[in-house]
Amino acid sequence: MPIPTPPPSVLPHEEPLPPRYDLWTAAVFFCIGIAILWLCWQMPTYREQQGQIYTAPGLVPAFHGVIITGLSLWLGLRAIARGALRPGDDTPRPVREGYSDTRLALATALCLIFAVGLVGRLPFWLAAALFIFAFTTLFEWQGDAPLRQRVRRLITSAISAVGTGLVVMLVFERVFLVRLP
């Protein structure tokens, strides 16, 4: 029997990435490092107030900026050495079985709509109920199922969403005495 290995979602370091990904990542980190250094350079040193240069606000972040820049260069050079610039390296990553970018995009969109659009604008229990209802309905939707089954599923989702919203509100506000957004 082959040894079962945990899915890569849990052990993210198992599959090596194509070097080109590392090169792009290095470029982004290089820009971040340079931006940090530039911003630190513009910070005051307070020397005119007899402040010591070692307590200047930009000193420590600049230290981090230098290291981030250096490490990104190391990552970039390593990616080039591994063939990031070699033609033919732009082969797309193999699709992992069962993984879906559509599900990911839908989940991200719903989470953003809830956290940015609904929270703070509606009572929290209602925002949570709407979010949970939309989430479960969209992900469990079966277009080819009989109408009766679809209606039953919608009703179950709505009841569980409203129930969860109310339970969250009661437990957090009454039991844990926590303020809700």
Q: Hey, which residues between 39 and 78 contact another protein (CB under 8 A)?
A: 39, 43-44, 46, 51-55, 57-61, 63-65, 67-68, 71-72, 74-75, 78
Of 147 and 178, nearer to another protein (C-beta) is: 178
* Residue with Cβ nearer another protein (115 or 151): 115
Contacts (Cβ under 8 Å, ≥6 apart) of 63: none
Instruction: Select the span of 83-91, 124-132, 146-154 touching another protein (CB under 8 A).
Output: 124-132
Q: Write the binding mask 5 to 24 for another protein: x where contact by CB under 8 A, - elsewhere.
A: xxx-xxxxx-xxx---xx--
Token pair, residue 131, equals 């979010």
User: In the window 130-159, what residues touch another protein (CB under 8 A)?
Assistant: 131-132, 135-136, 139-140
CB atoms within 10 A of CB 19: 19
> Shortest gap between Cβ of 80 and another protein (angstroms)?
14
* 88, 94, 146, 176: which one binds another protein (CB under 8 A): 176
Q: Which is nearer to another protein, 7 or 85 (CB)?
A: 7
Task: Write the interaction track for another protein spanning residues 76-105; mark x where CB under 8 A is met and - where it is not.
Answer: --x------------------xxxxx-xx-
Q: Which is nearer to another protein, 42 or 91 (CB)?
A: 42
Please report the DSSP string for 33-91 in residue order.
Answer: HHHHHHHHHTS---GGGT--GGG-TTHHHHHHHHHHHHHHHHHHHHHHHTTTTSTTTTP
Nearest to 118 by CA among 106, 134, 103: 134
| Least Å from the CB of residue 11 to another protein | 6
Q: Which amino acid is at 6?
A: P
Query: Closest separation between CB of residue 144 and another protein, Å?
Result: 17
If phi > 0 it is left, if psi is from -120 to 50 it is alpha, else beta; for residue 42 that is alpha
Dist. CA 23–CA 78, nearest whole Å: 8
Q: Phi first, then psi: give them for residue 169, nearest 5 degrees.
A: -65, -50
